[in-house]
Amino acid sequence: MTDPDWWRGAVIYQVYPRSYQDSDGDGVGDLNGITARLPHIASLGVDAVWISPFFKSPMADMGYDVSDYRDVDPLFGTLADFDRLIGVAHGLGLKIVIDQVLSHTSDQHEWFGESRTSRTNARADWYVWAEAKPDGTAPNNWLSVFGGPAWEWDGVRMQYYMHSFLTSQPDINLHNPAVQDEMLDTIRFWLDRGVDGFRLDACNHYFHDLALRDNPPARARGDKASVQESNPYGFQDHDYDKSQPENLLFLARLRALLSDYPGAIALGEVGDEDRSPATVQAYTAGDDLLHSSYTFDLFGSAFDPAHFRTIFAAFGEAAERGAVCWSISNHDVMRYVSRWTKAGDDPAAIARLAINLLVSLKGPICLYQGEELGLPEADIAYEDLRDPYGIRFWPAFKGRDGCRTPIPWESEAPYAGFSTARPWLPVPDAHRPLALDQQEHDPASVLATYRAAIAERKAHPALATGGLTFLESGDADILAFLRDGGGESLLCLFNFAREARTWEGETSTFDLPPLGYARIVLE
């Protein structure tokens, strides 16, 4: 039987398949490439691998526009390749978590093809359709995350359909019980193939307000990577186009399905602007909803003790239960080394401080591929962009391709060992010195720091699942807290200043180097 609590304090490593390893020479990463690199992932000491979408797709949004939930896109391989990946991963002690995109499909999905043909067909109500206003304009003021109205006119049905993202990504109507049943069946399909859980993409986008009420103007916009000032999406409070109360009932159905597969987990992605802590709290309350959830709250540019304490406090009881999955990078945001490095900083020092802080937090944590090498954001020329979000808002916002470039495995090899052909995105020259072969045997490398930090988390259960109590530091640049559990207490200290500082406790003092950290086992 699989331990149902394996996720508590787990370290989860995200793989973006297009950019991990190409095994067949077409310039795009694939499932067999991931399988070949699983020993590297296992060497980090992580518990699970989260794989971004590899389902059949026209790739308008790089796989987040699914056209068949039960098949692998030929770009990435076959179902047999996936089954082999599962077997190798499990043999290495790694669990496999896959992305599940339930809020929308591709407009090339057969369901949408049928739905748009008439208002009376068997799948007419499988998507969110609405009448135009008398003047022909969209039903309300809802906006797409990728810019512009969240409504697109269809001349066959003579109605608008809702799309929270690209126009080619129509929103599923999960108010329809038949749609819920079908989506849950797609989850069962992958559970039966041996997956250990799901990362639920945009899981607070599953339901919309049936009355189609207008969203109000935003009351405030904070420092969130998900809100680009070049994009009017952040100008609204999204009261009615997402995070609806019906979501809780569907998540309960999903959790009940997972209970048939011991150890299978649901990890939600919540993008809810300033209300994300409250949404996470609601979605993880009790034992019948999400196991854990992460947000974009640590994906901004703020990197100081006050910001971290504020975020932790905002999650309240959810954080105390260990239901918050902490993450500082993923495939949608600028790499943290570039976000947090100031002029004159050593990026490697930022990376070392960041991973040691991350492993000291309560609850599961997610790492994004390339973090362990300290990769900075790549500067992608406009003509090389593939991300529709970046193409739409260039040059004010350059999109997400800068964090999606291929992993550099060998510094001197063609395309840094990622492929034998020109990759789908360029390999930056600045990444070559950080390649795996340059760090693999260097005890002072970022890679060595990642491995050591993860090993220390495993050696001290208090770091993964123990309690967390903040301490007064007496210094605005020092973050201090205690981790208690498993019969031990650890004092965790982090100096965000660019010069040495001293932390003074009630009975002892500790000197911290610039951007330094310390974990002390207390007697």
> pLDDT at position 221, please?
56
What are the tokens at 92? 């290495």
Are residues 73 and 172 in contact, defined by beta-carbon separation less than 8 angstroms? Answer: no
DSSP code, position 263:
T
pLDDT in tens, 447-492: 999 999 999 999 999 998 999 999 998 899 999 999 999 899 999 9
3-class SS of residue 324: strand
> pLDDT at position 61, please?
97
For the chain, what is the total number of helices (H) and then of strands (E)? Answer: 13, 19
3-class SS of residue 4: coil
> pLDDT at position 506, please?
83
The answer to whether residue 269 is catalytic is yes
3-class SS of residue 321: coil
Are residues 370 and 446 in contact, defined by beta-carbon separation less than 8 angstroms? Answer: no
Are residues 425 and 446 in contact, defined by beta-carbon separation less than 8 angstroms? Answer: no
**Rounded to the nearest 10 degrees, what angle do helices 177-191 and 246-258 cross at?**
30
> pLDDT at position 230, please?
79
DSSP code, position 514:
T
Asked whether the CA dihedral 277, 283, 285, 291 is positive or negative, the reply is negative
245 phi and psi, to 5 degrees? -60, -25
Check whether 293 has a pLDDT greater than 80.
yes
Instruction: Please tell me which residue in 22, 201, 272, 332 is annotated as part of the active site.
Output: 201
Could you give the CA distance from residue 12 to residue 265 in angstroms, rounded to a whole number?
Answer: 12
Check whether 228 has a pLDDT greater than 70.
no
- CB atoms < 10 A from the CB of 395, how many? 8
3-class SS of residue 471: strand
Give how far the C-alpha of residue 54 lies from the chain's centroid of Cα atoms, to the nearest Å.
Answer: 15
Give the neighbor-by-neighbor strand order of the sheet with 159-162. 129-130, 159-162, 151-154
Are residues 272 and 294 in contact, defined by beta-carbon separation less than 8 angstroms? Answer: no
Superfamily of domain covering 11-104+177-455: Glycosidases (3.20.20.80)
Phi-psi category of residue 367: left, alpha or beta, with phi > 0 → left and psi -120 to 50 → alpha: beta
Could you give the CA distance from residue 389 to residue 373 in angstroms, rounded to a whole number?
Answer: 26
pLDDT in tens, 68-100: 999 999 999 999 999 999 999 999 999 999 999
In the chain, CATH 3.20.20.80 sits at: 11-104+177-455
Amino acid making up residue 254: L
Confidence grade of residue 273 (pLDDT, cut at 50, 70, 90): confident
Across 15-27, average pLDDT: 98
Could you give the CA distance from residue 305 to residue 38 in angstroms, rounded to a whole number?
Answer: 35
DSSP code, position 217:
B
> pLDDT at position 225, please?
41
Are residues 448 and 439 in contact, defined by beta-carbon separation less than 8 angstroms? Answer: yes
Could you give the CA distance from residue 199 to residue 19 in angstroms, rounded to a whole number?
Answer: 19
3-class SS of residue 72: strand
Check whether 280 has a pLDDT greater than 50.
yes
What are the tokens at 188? 């069962």
Selection from 504, 516, 458, 521 nearest residue 6 by Cα: 458
Length of the chain: 523
DSSP code, position 375:
P
Across 293-316, average pLDDT: 95
Confidence grade of residue 226 (pLDDT, cut at 50, 70, 90): very low
499 phi and psi, to 5 degrees? -140, 165
Instruction: Please tell me which residue in 269, 273, 332, 401 is annotated as part of the active site.
Output: 269
pLDDT in tens, 324-359: 999 999 999 999 999 999 999 999 999 999 999 999
Superfamily of domain covering 467-522: Golgi alpha-mannosidase II (2.60.40.1180)
In the chain, CATH 2.60.40.1180 sits at: 467-522
Give how far the C-alpha of residue 251 lies from the chain's centroid of Cα atoms, to the nearest Å.
Answer: 18
Selection from 132, 43, 33, 50 nearest residue 96 by Cα: 50
The residues that bridge with 471 in the sheet, in sequence order, are 480
DSSP codes joined into one string, 124-158 = TTSB-EEPPPTTS--SS--B-TTSSBSEEEETTTT
Check whether 1 has a pLDDT greater than 80.
no
Selection from 171, 181, 297, 166 nearest residue 241 by Cα: 171
Could you give the CA distance from residue 436 to residue 422 in angstroms, rounded to a whole number?
Answer: 20
pLDDT in tens, 145-193: 999 999 999 999 999 999 999 999 999 999 999 999 999 999 999 999 9
| Mean pLDDT computed over every residue of the chain | 96
The answer to whether residue 523 is catalytic is no
Separation in Å, CA 507 to CA 16, 59, 356: 47, 59, 24
Are residues 303 and 327 in contact, defined by beta-carbon separation less than 8 angstroms? Answer: no
* H helix runs in 16-109, sequence order: 31-43, 79-91
* β-pair type (11-15, 48-51): parallel
